[in-house]
A = this chain, B = another copy of it.
Amino acid sequence: MLVVMDKTATSEQIEKVVKVIESRGCTARPIPGGDRVSIGVLNNQGPVDAALFIGLAGVKDAVPITKPYKLVSRETKTEDTLIPVGETIIGNGHMTLIAGPCAIESEVQALAIAAHVKKAGAHLFRGGAFKPRTSPYSFQGLGEEGLRILARVRETTGLPVVTEVMDFQTFDLVEHYADVVQIGTRNMQNFSLLKRAGESYRPILLKRGMAATIEEWLMAAEYIMARGNHQVILCERGVRTFVHHSRNTLDLSAIPVVKKESHLPIVVDPSHAAGRRDQVLPLSRASVAANAHGLMVEVHHQPDQALSDGAQSLYPEQFATLCRQVKAIFKVCGGNESF
């Protein structure tokens, strides 16, 4: 943190700032500049809130210099985190394809789609049993019955399964059935849920919040890691902007930034970013070209009849094309090891 004083700040005002810094157990280092003084805040344990200084007399601004995250930071752990799931490894050097329907609707549906995506090359199967829906009147998922169907998909196809957990109450249940537990966009800062995830024995796929900065997202991962679960997979899925020709705006710059700041793997969900089928294939290719460690894509064999998000689900043959193309791009990019 650097506290920038007004040009006209008095020495009393500067001393006051120094005292506030020291009262927090930090070291204050005044830095006389050309026409104003700035004061560095050093040796802070944990984040120092800019807010502490911004309201004080004579203070022009307080500028955070270092990042508040620790365990997620590449400065703490330089080697990439690799997360084994079944026979697959998620992380640098690998490209993991996760596919399946938005929601599990029936065993017939799930098995049909799973057969398609496995054949095309998917490594994991996805499908929602508990669905967060904007409207209380929309289909909310099959619940535990959906989880049981996921287990049968795994038995039948050998594909590990990813599914979303919405609350503490059903966490044990989801954790029991899932190979990877997903925390959705709307719960990225549901801190109680993050703490529970931190005690889970499953890898957590943590979606970025719709309006989350990378710092907030990494701090959400820090909540999980701080409780002991170091298996976190980040998932970029688009952010909310003024743009309305896609449901969200996919933020592919997040990939190089996350890879620089953190050792955790990062995958992309192009389906929720796009919200419409005809953007999913180009955005999938783009994500792999930008060095994502994998994709999570919605596929449905009968999207017109899907109970949720049919419009963004690929047909099985489109997913097969996707797999072929992204594998070729992955090779071009040198297996995402470098950027």
**Which A residues have a C-beta under 8 Å from some C-beta of B?**
2, 4, 6-7, 20, 23, 27, 29, 31, 33-34, 36, 38, 40, 42-44, 46-47, 49-56, 61, 63, 65-66, 68, 75, 132-138, 166-169, 186-187, 189-193, 195, 210-211, 213-214, 216, 219, 222-223, 226-227, 239-246, 249-257, 260, 273-279, 281-283, 285-291, 303-305, 308-313, 325, 328-329, 332-333, 339
Are B311 and A189 in contact (CB-based, < 8 A)?
no
How many monomers of this chain does the complex have?
4
Q: How far is the CA of A45 from the CA of B150 in the complex (A)?
A: 30
Q: Nearest Cβ in chain B — how far from A303, in angstroms?
A: 6
A51 close to B257 (CB less than 8 A): no
Specify which chain B residues have a CB less than 8 angstroms from the CB of A167 in the assembled complex: 168, 190, 192-193
Q: Are B7 and A281 in contact (CB under 8 A)?
A: no
With known contacts A332-B325, A332-B329, A256–B244 Cβ distance under 8 A = no
Residues B65 and A38 in contact, CB atoms below 8 Å apart: yes
Q: Which listed residue (B47, B51, B189, B313) contacts A310, Cβ 8 A?
A: B51
A246 touches B257 (CB 8 A): yes
Give the nearest-CB partner of A253 in chain B: B246
- CB < 8 Å: which of B46, B213, B305 contacts A242? B213
Q: Quote the shortest CB–CB distance from A209 to chain B (angstroms).
A: 8
Residue in A23, A33, A309 whose Cβ sees the most chain B Cβ within 10 Å: A33
Q: Are B241 and A242 in contact (CB under 8 A)?
A: yes
**Contacting pair B311 A53 (CB below 8 A):** yes
Question: Can you list 12 A-B contacts with CB-CB less than 8 angstroms, sorted by A residue number?
Answer: A49-B309, A55-B311, A134-B189, A135-B222, A136-B191, A136-B223, A136-B227, A213-B244, A239-B241, A253-B273, A285-B333, A286-B287
**Given known A31-B40, A63-B2, A239-B241, contact A311–B136 (CB-CB < 8 A):** no
A14 vs chain B, min Cβ distance (A): 15
Contact flag A42-B34 (CB < 8 Å), given A4-B65, A278-B256, A333-B325: yes
A218 to B8, CA, bound (A): 21
Q: Are A245 and B253 in contact (CB under 8 A)?
A: yes
- Shortest A2–chain B CB gap in Å is 6
Contact A222 B136 (CB under 8 A): yes
Q: Which residues of B contact A303 (CB under 8 A)?
A: 55
Q: How far is the CA of A313 from the CA of B289 in the complex (A)?
A: 20
Question: Bound state CA distance, A222 and B137, in angstroms?
Answer: 9
Bound CA–CA A136/B191 (angstroms): 9
Instruction: Tell me whether B137 and A46 are in contact (CB under 8 A).
Output: yes
- Whether B191 and A190, one on each chain, are in contact in the complex, defined by CB atoms closer than 8 angstroms, is no
Partner of A213, one of B4, B20, B23, B243: B243
**Residues A192 and B169 in contact in the complex (CB < 8 Å), given A136-B226, A310-B55:** yes
